[in-house]
Amino acid sequence: MELLRPSNLAELDGGLFVHGGTEVVPLLRDGILHAETLVDIRELVPRGIDGGRIGAGTTLAELEASPHIPGALREACRLAASPQLRNMGSLGGNLLQSTRCWYWRLKYPCRLHGGDRCHAAEGEHREHAIFANDFCASAHPSDVAAALLALDARVRTSRRELGLAELYRLPDEADRRTTTLEPGEVILEVEIPPAEASIYLKAMDRKRWSFPQVGVAAARTGGATRIALAGVAPVPWLLAGPEDLDGATPLPRTAWKVEVARALVRRALTEVT
Amino acid sequence: MPELRLTVNGADHRLDAPIGTSLAHVLREELGLIGTKIACNEGHCGACTVQVDGAPVLSCITLAHAVDGDVTTIEGLRDHPLVEAFVRADAVQCGFCTPGQVVSAAALVAATPEPTTEEIRHAMAGNICRCGTYPKIEEAILHWRD
Ligand SMILES: Cc1cc2nc3c(=O)[nH]c(=O)nc-3n(C[C@H](O)[C@H](O)[C@H](O)COP(=O)(O)OP(=O)(O)OC[C@H]3O[C@@H](n4cnc5c(N)ncnc54)[C@H](O)[C@@H]3O)c2cc1C
Ligand code: SF4
Ligand code: FES
Ligand code: FES
C-alpha cells in the first residue's frame, strides 16, 4: 500500500480517501475496503467554522465545542461516538460512514455487499430500520446527518453543490450504493441556513457512547419545522410531520422504534415551537 | 519500506514500517512502549488511547504514517499526579484499561483542572473498564491534586 498526501485537488487521481481514518482503517483491516493507494485528504478539505459554512474537515470535537452552530448540530456531535473518536473523526467522514449492520460488518454476502438476501430481515434485526427496509433493512447511524437534514443543509463538493438529502440514495437491485458521491469527488463544505430553534434527541442503549437507536432532529425556520431521523432507514430520513410515523413499515422486532420515534418527535416539537 | 517519523514523549524516532501499520503497533512493537494496550483493535474500548498534540485519540485505528503531531503515551505521563491519584483511589483492578484511562484523564485535567462529575463522565466515556472501576476512576480524577 502507498499513502499519498496531495496538497491540491488537481493532483487527485484515484485511491481511497482517508481523513480521520476512524471508518477507513477498521474497514481496511477487516477486508471490507481494499486499496493499493490511500489518499490522505486532510490538506484538501477546509477545516473550521465560518458563519453558516463548516469545513468538511472540521472534527466532531470542534463542532461539539462551538457556540456558533445550531443547537441540533452541536448536540448531535456531542452525543456521537466517544471523545477520542470525536477528536479524530471529521464531519465529511461522518456523513459518509457505512452501516453498522452486523451482517454487513461481518461480511455476510448480503444485498448491500452485492448478494441476494437481507440476512437481517430474516435474522437478528432489533437495531434495524422501520422505513424503506424492503431491500436492505440497515439503519443509518449518523446523528450528524439527521441534524443537518433537519437544518436543511447544503453540501459543496469538488464538483457540485447539492442538498444533504441528495447525497444519499436507497440501495436497489441495480446499484447497492447508499450515497451519490462519485469516485474522486471530495466533500469540501457544508452550509447551514440560519434556524430560529433546533434540537437533537437521541435514544441509546446506554447513556453515552452509543450509536443512535433512534435520533430525532427538529429545526424551525420561519413558520416551518423540519424533522429528520437517524437510525430508522438505510439513509437519513426526513418526516413531513409526526403523522408520517403512521406509515412506518417495521420488521417483526423493530416496532419498538416507531414508539420511541413518536415520543422523541413529540418532545422535539414541543421544544422548538 | 516507507520511512516513518514520529515524536513520542519528546523523543524523535525515524523508522521503517509498511503503510497501514497502526500507531499502536509501532509504539508497542517497534518502540517497546508497551504501556499502550490493544484490546478491541477497532476503536471501541479506549485501551489504546494516546494523546496527539494533547488530544486523546485511539492509536489502534490511527495510521502511523498519518500522525501529524507530538505523541504522548502513558510512559510520558509517569510523573503525572493522576497516576498517584489512581493508586490512592484504588481505581485499578486488572489494570488493563488503566493506561488509557490515565491518558484521557490527563487531557481532561489539562483543559479543565477542576472538572465536575458530569464533565468527567463526558470526557471519560470512551474508556471502557471491564472490571467496572468507574466510581473509583471518577473519585481519582475529582481528587487528582490532593
Ligand atoms: C466505534 C464507532 C462509534 C461511532 N459512533 C457514532 C455515533 O454514535 N454517531 C455518529 O454519528 N457517528 C458515529 N461514529 C462515526 C464517526 O463519527 C465517523 O467514523 C467519523 O466521523 C468519520 O470521520 P473520519 O474523518 O474518521 O472518516 P474516514 O474514516 O477518514 O472516512 C470515512 C469515509 O468517508 C470518506 N471521506 C472522508 N472524508 C471525505 C471527504 N471530505 N470527501 C469525500 N470522501 C470522504 C472516506 O473515503 C471513507 O469512505 C462512530 C464511529 C466508530 C468507529
Ligand atoms: S440490512 Fe442491509 S446491510 Fe444488513 S444484512 Fe440486510 S442487506 Fe445487508
Ligand atoms: S484497542 Fe483501540 S479502541 Fe480498543
Ligand atoms: S481495571 Fe480491569 S478493565 Fe479496567
pLDDT at A223: 87
What mean pLDDT, rounded, does chain B reach?
A: 97
Residue A82 has pLDDT above 80, yes or no: yes
**Which has the closest alpha carbon to A254: A223, A227, A226, A214?**
A214
Residues sharing a CB contact under 8 Å with residue A179, sequence separation 6 or more, in sequence order:
A96, A167, A168, A169
| DSSP letter string, A22-78 | TTHHHHHHTTSS--SEEEE-TTTS--SEETTEEETT-BHHHHHT-TTS-HHHHHHHH
Torsion of Cα atoms, A8 then A11 then A14 then A17, to 10°: -20
Q: What is the average per-residue pLDDT within A70-78? A: 98
CA distance A109 to A112: 8
Q: Which long-range contacts (CB under 8 A, 24 or more apart) does A206-210 make?
A: A208/A79, A208/B121, A208/B122, A208/B125, A209/A81, A209/A82, A209/B125, A209/B126
What distance lies between CA B114 and its chain's CA centroid?
A: 20
Taking an 8 Å cut-off on Cβ atoms, the answer to whether A22 and B61 are in contact is: yes
Residue B19 has pLDDT above 80, yes or no: yes
CA distance B47 to B35: 10
What pLDDT, in 10s, does the model give residues A168-205?
999 999 999 999 999 999 999 999 999 999 999 999 99
Residue A122 has pLDDT above 80, yes or no: yes
Over the Cα atoms of chain A, what is R_g?
18
Instruction: Show the domains of chain A with their CATH numbers.
Output: 45-272 (3.30.465.10)
Residue among A104, A125, A135 to mutate when testing ligand 2 (max atoms within 8 A of CB): A104
User: How many CB pairs (< 8 A) connect A and B?
Assistant: 72
DSSP one-letter code for A237? E
pLDDT at B2: 85
Ligand 4 center to residue A21 CA distance, Å?
27
Complex ipTM: 0.98
Q: What is the average per-residue pLDDT within B77-84? A: 98
Burial A12-39 (b: 16+ CB within 10 A, else e): beebebbbbbbbbbbbbeeeebebeebb
Q: What is the average per-residue pLDDT within A103-122? A: 97
pLDDT at A222: 86
Residue B25 has pLDDT above 80, yes or no: yes
What pLDDT, in 10s, does the model give residues A143-176?
999 999 999 999 999 999 999 999 999 999 999 9
Task: Report the percent of chain B where pLDDT is more than 70.
Answer: 100
| DSSP letter string, A94-144 | HHTPPP--HHHHTT---GGGT-S--HHHHS--TTS-SSS-SS-------HH
| All three cell numbers of B61 | 485505528
CA distance B22 to A38: 14
Residue A64 sits at φ, ψ, to 5 deg, of -60, -30
User: Top-level CATH class of B77-142?
Assistant: mainly alpha
pTM: 0.98
pLDDT at B1: 74
What pLDDT, in 10s, does the model give residues A228-245?
999 999 999 999 999 999
- List, in sequence order, every residue forming a beta bridge with A229; answer none if it has no partner: A216, A237
pLDDT at B107: 98
Q: What is the average per-residue pLDDT within B42-47? A: 97
B106 CB within 8 Å of a chain A CB: no
What pLDDT, in 10s, does the model give residues B54-71?
999 999 999 999 999 999
A84 CB within 8 Å of a chain B CB: yes
Q: What is the average per-residue pLDDT within B81-103? A: 98
Q: Measure in Å the smallest separation between the Cα of A197 and chain B Cα atoms.
A: 25
Q: Domain B3-73 belongs to what topology? A: Ubiquitin-like (UB roll) (3.10.20)
Taking an 8 Å cut-off on Cβ atoms, the answer to whether A209 and B126 are in contact is: yes
Taking an 8 Å cut-off on Cβ atoms, the answer to whether A83 and B56 are in contact is: yes
Q: pLDDT band for B119, please (50, 70, 90 cuts).
A: very high
Ligand 2 center to residue A130 CA distance, Å?
13
Residue A41 has pLDDT above 90, yes or no: yes
Domain assignments of chain B as residue spans, ordered by start: 3-73, 77-142
Residue B139 has pLDDT above 90, yes or no: yes
Q: Which residue bears the cell 437491485?
A: A173
Q: What is the average per-residue pLDDT within A56-72? A: 97
- Residue B130 CB–ligand 3 contact under 6 Å: no
Q: Which residue lies with its CA nearest to atom 2 of ligand 2?
A: A136
Q: What is the average per-residue pLDDT within B1-19? A: 95
- Residue B131 CB–ligand 4 contact under 6 Å: yes
**Which has the closest alpha carbon to A254: A233, A237, A236, A268?**
A233
Q: Within 13 Å, how many C-alpha atoms sit on residue B96's CB side?
A: 12
Ligand 3 center to residue B49 CA distance, Å?
7
